[in-house]
Amino acid sequence: MSGSPIYETFARVPLAFERGEGAFLFTTDGERYLDFAAGIAVNALGHSHPHLVAALTEQAGKLWHVSNLYEIPAQTRLAERLVEASFADKVFFTNSGAEALECAIKTARRYHYVSGHPERFRTITFEGAFHGRTLATIAAGGQEKYLEGYGPKVEGFDQVPFGDLEAVEKAITPETAAILIEPVQGEGGIRAVPAATLKKLRELADKHGLLLIFDEVQCGVGRTGKLFAHEWAGIAPDLMAIAKGIGGGFPMGACLATDEAARGMTAGVHGTTFGGNPLAMAVGNAVLDVVLAEGFLEDVQRKALLLKQGLAAVADEFPTVIADIRGSGLMLGLKCVVPNKDLNNALRDQHMLAVTAGDNVIRLLPPLTVTDGEIHDALARLRAAAGSLAGTAAVAAQ
């Protein structure tokens, strides 16, 4: 054996955290980091949120796991609440985002199958998309770097350029089953799909009898200041995958569907061992207690504006480092002039955590519970980080 006993698939930063509190993480050496990465939008309520800790520990003393062969009341309750708060009528719980997408893709294929059209199995996706790392979801994402070396790409995915409605229309064939899109691309570089484009996709789906699938694994559950990002566009999908934020750090995901879209999903056609497990459901319900509380999402919108305006001021101050601010709610991107990795490292030198994304962007995904004070703290650290790079960037430009 050489090096770490862990697969070398992640280029890890040599930092280990042992404790978290709200928007802060503490290393094993006792150093404190301001966490504007939040586990890539997973720790939606920050670290060690008292309501989540109580829900998980209380459930842990009662029952950890029962098979989906039995009724799981907390699962029914969480599904009822998600249905109540969304377009959906039915929910399937999973352990991860990729599995939620797999369920959505399978549901769309089954819908056409039971409607007498087994030939309709193809899904249209968009360049820059990220839908997970299973064999089907890397095919859906269509990124060469994730597909390489894994044999023939899973059949049934047709990719078109980001936001190109004409290309979507051209890509629709008698075999098309669905259109799959992230309302705000995460890994692709915090690229929000314009509301008009989402509306047009809804129209195209209706016109051609396709199912519209939204991947809200990263942008859902309050991240943009609405419970779901597509609410800003005033339209709804037929199917939606969520994950990251709904577990607040506990691994879970869900596929939400209308009754019509889910009509092919009958007993025995899909399953999961761990999905919808009582521990996950206790936490998922606790996350919703907080996110759906009166005024919570309005406050996310208010704080998002504060952060975005502050970021715009820093970008103005350091135009050789940051070109532009983009994104929605507390899902913001800094389009960098310098390599995004350099800015990410400079932020880490300031003891602040962010995440890189495609298109030379730095993602800022603070906990939705972030305070105004922590936002000002983050802006000061960003200013220091940008300042440390501005000198070298100016010299390089000469």
Residue span binding ligand PLP (CB under 6 A) among the ranges 30-38, 59-67, 97-105, 316-324: 97-105
Q: 218 or 344, CB closer to ligand PLP? A: 218
Of all residues in the chain, what percent are helix, strand and coil, respectively (each to 5)? 40, 20, 40
Tokens at residue 358, please?
Answer: 């495609």
* Binding characters for ligand PLP, 236-255, by CB under 6 A (x = yes): -------xx-----------
CA distance 312 to 340: 17
Q: 136 or 338, CB closer to ligand PLP? A: 136
Number of residues that bind ligand PLP (CB under 6 A): 14
Q: Give the one residue of 20, 22, 39, 97 binding ligand PLP; rule: CB under 6 A.
A: 97
Residue with tokens 């060690």: 48
Listed residue (115, 138, 127) closest to 210, CA to CA: 115
Burial (CB count within 10 angstroms: exposed 0-12, middle 13-18, buried 19+), residue 207: exposed
The helix/strand/coil state of 210 is coil
Q: 182 or 231, CB closer to ligand PLP? A: 182
Q: Residues annotated in the binding site for pyridoxal 5'-phosphate, as ranges?
A: 97-98, 130, 215-218, 273
Tokens at residue 277, please?
Answer: 């497990």
Binders of ligand PLP among residues 361 to 380 (CB under 6 A) are: none
- To ligand PLP, the closest distance from the beta carbon of 355 in angstroms equals 11
- To ligand PLP, the closest distance from the beta carbon of 94 in angstroms equals 9
Residue with tokens 């051209």: 170
Contact 245, 87 (CB under 8 A): no
Contact 121, 178 (CB under 8 A): no
Q: Give the one residue of 39, 46, 128, 132 binding ligand PLP; rule: CB under 6 A.
A: 132
Residue type, 33: Y
Residue span binding ligand PLP (CB under 6 A) among the ranges 4-12, 44-52, 212-220, 339-347: 212-220
CA distances from 136 to 48, 117, 191 (A): 34, 21, 23
Q: Determine if 102 is a binding residue for ligand PLP (CB under 6 A).
A: no
Listed residue (43, 170, 179, 65) closest to 122, CA to CA: 179
Alpha carbons within 13 angstroms on the beta-carbon side of residue 56 total 15
Q: Residues annotated in the binding site for N(2)-acetyl-L-ornithine, as ranges?
A: 133, 272
Positions of E strands within 90-238: 90-94, 122-126, 157-160, 176-181, 184-185, 191-192, 211-215
- To ligand PLP, the closest distance from the beta carbon of 283 in angstroms equals 15
Q: Determine if 96 is a binding residue for ligand PLP (CB under 6 A).
A: yes
- To ligand PLP, the closest distance from the beta carbon of 180 in angstroms equals 10
CA distance 90 to 113: 19
Q: 130 or 318, CB closer to ligand PLP? A: 130
Q: Determine if 104 is a binding residue for ligand PLP (CB under 6 A).
A: no
Q: Give the one residue of 90, 112, 131, 191 binding ligand PLP; rule: CB under 6 A.
A: 131
Contact 186, 331 (CB under 8 A): yes
Residue type, 9: T
Binders of ligand PLP among residues 323 to 342 (CB under 6 A) are: none
Q: 191 or 335, CB closer to ligand PLP? A: 191
Q: Determine if 98 is a binding residue for ligand PLP (CB under 6 A).
A: yes
Q: Determine if 221 is a binding residue for ligand PLP (CB under 6 A).
A: no
Residue span binding ligand PLP (CB under 6 A) among the ranges 127-135, 268-276, 357-365, 371-379: 127-135
Q: Determine if 182 is a binding residue for ligand PLP (CB under 6 A).
A: yes
CA distance 104 to 262: 9
Residue span binding ligand PLP (CB under 6 A) among the ranges 94-102, 270-278, 326-334, 360-368: 94-102
Q: Determine if 186 is a binding residue for ligand PLP (CB under 6 A).
A: yes
- To ligand PLP, the closest distance from the beta carbon of 143 in angstroms equals 12
Give strand pairing partners of 352: 34
Q: Determine if 215 is a binding residue for ligand PLP (CB under 6 A).
A: yes
CA distance 361 to 249: 24
Q: How far is CA 136 from the centre of its chain?
A: 18
Q: Determine if 142 is a binding residue for ligand PLP (CB under 6 A).
A: no
Listed residue (52, 361, 32, 87) closest to 198, CA to CA: 87
Q: Determine if 75 is a binding residue for ligand PLP (CB under 6 A).
A: no
- Which residues lie near ligand PLP (CB under 6 A)? 96-98, 101, 130-132, 182, 186, 215, 217-218, 243-244
